[in-house]
Amino acid sequence: MRVEDKKKQLNLSFQLLDIDGDNVLNILNLLYLQKNIPYNTRIGVELMEIIEYYLSSNVYSRSLRDRIEINFEVFITKQNSKLCLREEIRERFLGIGVKLDLDPDQPHPVPVNYMTPS
């Protein structure tokens, strides 16, 4: 696969998580996603990793440095290009890749209607 395609797929994944469209995953985006994505899904698990990174860099840190923003470049660095949302985009929208074997004991992809208002 071409590097440009991979970066475009990761960018689309990032844009889906960036609810307010400001090209930064801020605490409001992360809390909204946490509230609306089940914890027992692969996306929920990855989201908690992003939230933990945000908290450890900005809240728990005793450093007086500037706040760390999670922009696209930080996002792909921290996710190491192994984002399950990217896998879902490749499989479901682009028809690329092998179908994911779902193990009932492991977190699985989020259903399509996970963002419906409650």
How far is the C-alpha of 26 from the C-alpha of 117, rounded, in Å? 20
Pick the CATH number of 3-93 from 3.30.70, 1.10.238, 2.40.10, 2.60.120: 1.10.238
Query: pLDDT by residue (tens digit) across 23-80?
Result: 999 889 999 999 998 888 888 888 888 898 888 888 776 665 667 788 888 888 876 5
Q: Which amino acid is present at 67?
A: R
Give the chain's mean pLDDT.
76
Query: Model confidence at 112, in pLDDT bands (50, 70, 90)?
Result: very low
Q: Which residues are CB-contacts of 24 (< 8 A; sequence separation ≥ 6)?
A: 18, 69, 70, 71
pLDDT digits (tens, 9 = 90+) for 77-108: 876 556 777 777 777 766 776 555 556 666 55
Higher per-residue confidence, 51 vs 9: 51
| Residues 6, 89: Cα–Cα separation, whole Å | 11
